[in-house]
Amino acid sequence: MLEIKNLEVSYKKDYKKKIVIQDFNLTLESGKILAVMGKSGCGKSTLLHTIAGVLKFKGDILVDGKKLSAKNTKIGLIPQDYGLLPWQTVFKNCLFGVGYKDKEMENEARKMLDRLGILDLSNQYPNEISGGQAQRVALCRALLLKPQILLMDEPFSALDEVASIEAQKLTAKMWNETKSTGIIITHRLEEALYLADDIAIMANNSKGTIKHIFLNKWKGKLDVTNQEYLEFKNQIEHILMECNE
Amino acid sequence: MMKKIKGFLCGFIAINILWFIASILLNTRALPNPIIVYKSFNIVIHKGILSHVAISLYRIFAGVGISLLIGIPIGYFMAKSKVVANILHPIIYFSYSIPKTALLPIAMLLLGLGDTSKVLIMFLTMVFQVIITTRDAIFYIPESIYHVGKSTGKSEWFLLRYVTFPAILPEIFTGIRINLGTALAILLIVEAYGTRLGIGYYILDSWSRMNYNEMYAGIIVISLLGAILFLCMDILIEKICKWKKQVQ
């Protein structure tokens, strides 16, 4: 379970303290996936990077009751640009998270690359592969960690619609197998509806407050034309528009 | 690589043809026929031009090596620490514009006429570029890579070893290439005084003795030296920065 209590994240700009997230609370059950949506600049990425252990914060972040730290919590992070090392091959990129010294991990990486359908790209460099393939490499790198928490920052935003749907299906499949607790940031509602158990809308108040959380019963369903689904989607869109004003 | 060697040979032949035509048209002792100059190579080598090349190479490598050893860490800390950047930036900004060869008399007064003053001038000429290249190269590394590393609890040393250093390597190599060109150019100045060895000294000495065949032989040798060093750098870049080759 992921618990966030009284979270405050700030940074200094021109010697002045700027608060990005204040008094933020969230509980996410183990194995559940939360999609976070909201206007640009509302604090989504800051929240993700704080949970990833990249940013300093005040308050508590607990994973299964223990304080979150990059050393004792396995965190898989997939940034928006995938964060691949341009000077390493696909294979070496996959090992970046788990380290380069474990031979057993090399076999694991090969198996994972095979399952993701990119084993034949092992010796390629990131600039030689497509966006969809790069996303799979980043997914492979994250999954090799067997993460307790999987964090994704708009992982499909750089892909075209066809590649995006394919990548979402694959991500959902792998996510179901790892049972990681996850947070995904997205601007596309369809992505959130397909992947997440809960959808959180962040308020546009520069404090990182969650305005609304929706329980999503349409997870794993694509191309739904059901009236109930469309009403649910409209409801979320309405809240999103309110937040964007 | 063969393409580069071919290009180099074409350029070499073209310049020699132009030189040959110019020597006939001008018909002056100051521009001898290249064939005569090449014929004099036997004597030039016999007279020990290779020992001049060796001492110049030593000075070049010492200057480049020390500027890298000192410049890379300074550039790194300038990129990573605002405090270090704030302290060093004004000093570097001011020092960068000073023509370092103008400091040669001071270097000679303080350090003597030996190699130390010559290497110091080479070092001063190159180190600022190494610092700025390193600092800028680190700025261009995507933050997301560090985020992935930090989220998995990687140490600063791991990130330096597997992220920062490989990321700046191509820029460092490009810097070395430029520095080698600079080092060859300032050889003529630093070897003009207080030495009887070095290819720069050899060219200037031949010039003062009006031995133009030897002077031109020296110029050809220093040019070939530059070309060989550049070629070696290209081979090194291709071997070490394979991913850059894919981009090209």
Q: Tell me the C-alpha distance between A195 and A182, whole Å.
A: 10
pLDDT of A156 over the 70 cut: yes
Which of B149, B151, B166 lies nearest to residue A87, judging by beta carbons? B166
pLDDT, mean of residues A86-92: 93
Residue A138 lies in a domain: yes
pLDDT, mean of residues A92-117: 89
What total number of domains does chain A contain? Answer: 2
Long-range contacts of B85-89 (CB under 8 A, 24+ apart): B85/B135
If asked whether residues A166 and A200 sit together in one domain, one would say yes
If asked whether residues A66 and A161 sit together in one domain, one would say yes
pLDDT, mean of residues B32-51: 88
If asked whether residues A165 and A67 sit together in one domain, one would say yes
If asked whether residues A157 and A228 sit together in one domain, one would say yes
Residue corresponding to tokens 């031979």? A103
* Residues A185-231 pLDDT 10s: 998 888 899 889 999 998 877 676 788 888 888 888 776 778 888 88
* Residue B55 near residue B46, CB atoms below 8 Å: no
pLDDT for res B245: 63
ipTM above 0.85, yes or no: yes
List the CATH number of the domain containing A181. 3.40.50.300
The mean pLDDT value of chain A amounts to 87
In this structure, how many other beta carbons lie within 10 angstroms of the beta carbon of residue B91? 10
Within 8 A of B150 by CB-CB distance, chain A residues are 52-54, 70
CB contact under 8 Å between A87 and B169, yes or no, is: yes
pLDDT for res B44: 84
Q: In chain B, whose CA is at the least distance from the CA of A97? A: B152
pLDDT of A71 over the 80 cut: no
pLDDT for res B20: 94
If asked whether residues A152 and A230 sit together in one domain, one would say yes
* Residues A43-58 pLDDT 10s: 888 899 999 988 888 8
Residue A95 lies in a domain: yes
Percent of chain B with pLDDT over 90: 46
Residue A198 bridge partners (DSSP): A34, A215
If asked whether residues A154 and A185 sit together in one domain, one would say yes
Within 8 A of B158 by CB-CB distance, chain A residues are 99
Residue A22 lies in a domain: no
If asked whether residues A179 and A234 sit together in one domain, one would say yes
Instruction: Look at residues A146, A166, A200 and tell me which one is the last residue of a structural domain.
Output: A146
pLDDT of B247 over the 50 cut: no
In this structure, how many other beta carbons lie within 10 angstroms of the beta carbon of residue B82? 9
pLDDT, mean of residues B91-104: 83
**Residue B181 structure tokens:** 């060109």
Within 8 A of A83 by CB-CB distance, chain B residues are 142, 144-145, 147-148
Residue A1 lies in a domain: no
A and B: number of Cβ contacts within 8 A: 69
Which of B148, B158, B242 lies nearest to residue A83, judging by beta carbons? B148
Q: Tell me the C-alpha distance between B193 and B106, whole Å.
A: 13
pLDDT of A158 over the 50 cut: yes
Best-predicted range by mean pLDDT (A76-85, A172-181, B1-10, B39-48) = A76-85
DSSP-derived letter for residue A187 is S
pLDDT for res B132: 92
* Residues B170-228 pLDDT 10s: 999 888 888 888 888 888 888 888 888 899 999 999 999 988 989 999 999 999 999 88
pLDDT of B2 over the 80 cut: no
pLDDT of B246 over the 60 cut: no
* Residues B113-147 pLDDT 10s: 888 999 999 999 889 999 999 999 999 999 999 99
pLDDT of A12 over the 80 cut: no
* Residue A98 near residue A142, CB atoms below 8 Å: no
pLDDT for res A169: 85
Mutation target among B148, B155, B158, B242 for the A interface, most CBs of A within 10 A: B148
If asked whether residues A34 and A125 sit together in one domain, one would say no
Residue corresponding to tokens 């560090």? B146
pLDDT for res A33: 92
* Residues B45-83 pLDDT 10s: 888 889 999 999 999 999 999 999 999 999 999 999 989
For residue A94, what are the contacts with CB-CB under 8 A and spacing of at least 6? Answer: A109, A112, A113, A137, A140, A141, A144
Instruction: Provide the domain limits for residue A111.
Output: 81-146
Percent of chain A with pLDDT over 70: 97
A61 residue type, one letter: I
pLDDT for res B248: 46
Instruction: Look at residues A92, A124, A146 and tell me which one is the last residue of a structural domain.
Output: A146
Instruction: Find the helix or strand (DSSP H, E) in which B112 lies.
Output: none
- List helix spans (H) across chain B: 2-26, 34-39, 41-46, 49-80, 82-96, 104-111, 115-139, 143-151, 156-159, 165-190, 199-208, 212-240, 242-247
Residue A9 lies in a domain: no
pLDDT of A159 over the 60 cut: yes
Angstroms from A239 CA to nearest CA on chain B:
30
Q: Where are the beta strands (DSSP E) in chain A?
A: 2-13, 16-28, 33-37, 58-63, 66-67, 75-78, 149-153, 181-185, 198-202, 210-215
Q: Tell me the C-alpha distance between B197 and B213, whole Å.
A: 19
Residue A10 lies in a domain: no
If asked whether residues A170 and A234 sit together in one domain, one would say yes
Angstroms from B111 CA to nearest CA on chain A:
43
pLDDT for res B185: 87
Angstroms from B147 CA to nearest CA on chain A:
6
The phi and psi torsions of B73 (rounded to 5 degrees) equal -60, -40
